[in-house]
C-alpha cells in the first residue's frame, strides 16, 4: 500500500479493536505500510464524521481525514499508547486540524502563493530553459518531488493555478467544488509544499 491512505470510504471499514491497534502501532514503527491500512479502515468513519461535522464540507473533511492518517504514518512516535487509545488520539488530532482550518478561512491566500511562486515557476515543464544552471535545475527537480508527495487533489489545484494560470473561480468550476473549497485545497497544498521544500533547505520567499 502507498503510505497515503485511500480517499475516504466506508468500504472495508472495521470496528475498533484496542489490542489490534497496539499491534498495528508496533508494526507502523517498524515501517509496515499494511498496518496503516488496517488502522485507517478501523478508524476512518469516526475521524471523517467528526471533521465533517466541524467543517460542514465533505471534500475538505476528506483532505483533513487523509492528513490525520498521514501524520500517524510520518510520525508514529507522536502517539503514546500509555496516554490513551489510538482512536481518541486520532480524533484529537482531527479535531485540532479542523478547528485550525476554521480559523484560517477568513485569511487571504495571496501572501503564501506569492511567497512560493518562484520555485513553482521553475518547476513548470513548459518553461524549462536549456540554459538553466545546475542549481536552478536542482531546485526545479526538488519542487517536482515535493509536488508528487502532496495529496492528489491539492496537487491538481496547485498545478491548475500555477502551471495553467487559472483563477480560483475557474479551478472551482472545473473541479466542480465550491470556491472556498478550491481556495482551501490550494492553501493546504501550498503549506505542505513549503514545508517539504524547507525541509530540503530551500527558501520559499524568493
Half-sphere exposure of 124 (CA within 13 A, CB side): 15
CATH 1.10.10.10 residue ranges of the chain are 110-199
Gap between the Cα atoms of 181 and 74, Å rounded: 25
- CATH number of the domain located at residue range(s) 110-199 in this protein: 1.10.10.10
Gap between the Cα atoms of 169 and 138, Å rounded: 33
| Res 167 pLDDT > 60 | yes
Gap between the Cα atoms of 177 and 141, Å rounded: 30
pLDDT band per the 50, 70, 90 thresholds, residue 8:
very low
Q: Per-residue pLDDT averaged across 131-150, rounded?
A: 76
Beta-carbon neighbour count of residue 46 at 10 Å?
Answer: 17
Output DSSP code: residue 202.
-
Which pLDDT score, from 0 to 100, does residue 47 have? 92
Query: Which helix (H) or strand (E) element contains residue 184?
Result: helix 179-199
Which pLDDT score, from 0 to 100, does residue 123 have? 59
Asked if 73 and 194 touch (Cβ cutoff 8 Å), the reply is no
Highest mean pLDDT range out of 13-17, 85-89, 138-142?
Answer: 85-89
Highest mean pLDDT range out of 93-107, 159-173, 175-189?
Answer: 175-189
CATH 1.10.1740.10 residue ranges of the chain are 18-104
Q: Per-residue pLDDT averaged across 85-104, rounded?
A: 88
Q: What is the pTM (predicted TM-score) of this model?
A: 0.51
Domain spanning 18-104: CATH 3.40.50.300: no
Q: Mark 166-188 as b/e (b = at least 16 C-beta within 10 Å).
A: bebeebbeebebeeebbbbbbbb
Amino acid at each position: 500500500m502507498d503510505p497515503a491512505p485511500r480517499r475516504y470510504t466506508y468500504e472495508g471499514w472495521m470496528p475498533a479493536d484496542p489490542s489490534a491497534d497496539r499491534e498495528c502501532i508496533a508494526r507502523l514503527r517498524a515501517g509496515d505500510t499494511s498496518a496503516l491500512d488496517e488502522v485507517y479502515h478501523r478508524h476512518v468513519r469516526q475521524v471523517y464524521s467528526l471533521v465533517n461535522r466541524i467543517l460542514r464540507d465533505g471534500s475538505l473533511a476528506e483532505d483533513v481525514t487523509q492528513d490525520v492518517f498521514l501524520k500517524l504514518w510520518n510520525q508514529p512516535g507522536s502517539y503514546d499508547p500509555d496516554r490513551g487509545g489510538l482512536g481518541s488520539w486520532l480524533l484529537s488530532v482531527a479535531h485540532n486540524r479542523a478547528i485550525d482550518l476554521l480559523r484560517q478561512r477568513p485569511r487571504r491566500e495571496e501572501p503564501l502563493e506569492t511567497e512560493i511562486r518562484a520555485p513553482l515557476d521553475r518547476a513548470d515543464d513548459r518553461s524549462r530553459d536549456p540554459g538553466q544552471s545546475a542549481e536552478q535545475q536542482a531546485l526545479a527537480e526538488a519542487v517536482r518531488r515535493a509536488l508528487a508527495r502532496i495529496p492528489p487533489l491539492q496537487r491538481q489545484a496547485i498545478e491548475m493555478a500555477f502551471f495553467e494560470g487559472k483563477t480560483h473561480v475557474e479551478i472551482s468550476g472545473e473541479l466542480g467544488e465550491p470556491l472556498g473549497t478550491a481556495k482551501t485545497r490550494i492553501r493546504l497544498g501550498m503549506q505542505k509544499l513549503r514545508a517539504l521544500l524547507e525541509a530540503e533547505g530551500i527558501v520559499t520567499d524568493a
